Amino acid sequence: MPLTPLMFIVLFAAGQPSAAPPIKVHKSVDSSGWEPVYIERCADKLRAQGYYSKYTLHRKNRIERLSVRDGLYCHTPQAISVDYGPTGVDYLQETQLTCAMALTLMRFEEIAHEEARVAFNSDHMHPVWEVRHRGTYTCRRLRRKTHHQSQHSFGNAIDLRKIRIKGWGWVDVKRHWHTTGERYQPARQFLRRLVQRLRDEGLYSNVIGPDDDYWHNDHIHLDLAPVSRGRLSPALERLRQLPDM
């Protein structure tokens, strides 16, 4: 039975510490259609990791909207709009993600900071300053497999384009991934080690970069697809096991 807009009445998660603003997570009354990426008590899991005040919910009408386009039903379950990540990284464009994807940002940023300190010989605890991306939520199909819906149509993915490092400047995926210039080797090393670390730790279902295909020549794609290469995603299962208090 096809999903209808009436199935997506949006509620706000209740309850918050008295000393801090709440994390507001949009939640469908009938979440069965989005069950594979739904995380029980996700807002509490965000708070338990200590960065509830880093998240804001804005552009309410856009987040609540169910988009129907070219036969696709696009909607971000448990929508979180991120301005600043848990370690203070500034996500410069509109960044609308599932709460599950928001839960990955703590570890993603820790890994990025660690690799930046090594590659750029940085003394900063948090050398990663800003992130520019090509998009998070957008209603579309996969470019190669047009019969499949993109994880972007659920806000369950982010495409990293540039990362700004304190004391060095912008690391550009398109410019620096394949660079051979000696001056830019720290940027090349940073990007490649970042991708390898994310893959090794299994933080995401898919980590796709410029070496994988033409469509990713200028960005690094991260997602939490429930199924990847025919297997259920262990990354999502680990998020479900995170403590919520």
Q: What pLDDT score does 72 carry?
A: 76
Cβ–Cβ < 8 Å for 79, 96: yes
Please write the tens of the pLDDT for every residue from 124-169: 999 999 999 998 988 888 776 666 788 998 899 999 999 999 999 9
Collapsing DSSP to helix, strand or coil, 163 comes out as: strand
Q: What pLDDT score does 118 carry?
A: 98
Q: Would you state the structure tokens that stand for residue 53, as one six-digit string?
A: 């005040």
Q: Would you state the structure tokens that stand for residue 123, as one six-digit string?
A: 């003394």
Q: Has residue 17 been placed in a domain?
A: yes
- Whole-prediction pTM: 0.82
Write the DSSP symbol of residue 21.
P
Q: Has residue 144 been placed in a domain?
A: yes
Range with the poorest average pLDDT among 25-29, 146-150, 169-173 = 25-29
Q: What pLDDT score does 16 carry?
A: 33
Which residues lie across from 157 on neighbouring strands? 223
Nearest in space to 97 (alpha carbons), one of 144, 54, 143, 127: 54
Collapsing DSSP to helix, strand or coil, 120 comes out as: coil
Q: Has residue 55 been placed in a domain?
A: yes
Q: Has residue 245 been placed in a domain?
A: no
Q: How far apart are CA 225 and CA 130, in angstroms?
A: 25
Q: What pLDDT score does 26 carry?
A: 47
Q: Identify the band that residue 102 occupies on the pLDDT scale cut at 50, 70 and 90.
A: very high
For residue 103, give the H/E element and its range: helix 99-119
Q: Has residue 238 been placed in a domain?
A: no
Cβ–Cβ < 8 Å for 154, 34: yes
Nearest in space to 218 (alpha carbons), one of 227, 206, 208, 203: 208
* Residue 16: Cβ within 10 Å count: 15
Cβ–Cβ < 8 Å for 152, 135: yes
Q: Has residue 28 been placed in a domain?
A: yes
Q: Identify the band that residue 237 occupies on the pLDDT scale cut at 50, 70 and 90.
A: very high
Structural domain total, the chain? 1
pLDDT mean over 70-87: 82
Q: What pLDDT score does 158 carry?
A: 97
Q: How far apart are CA 143 and CA 116, in angstroms?
A: 31
Domain span at 146: 5-232
Q: Has residue 237 been placed in a domain?
A: no
Residue 3 has pLDDT above 70, yes or no: no
Q: Has residue 122 been placed in a domain?
A: yes
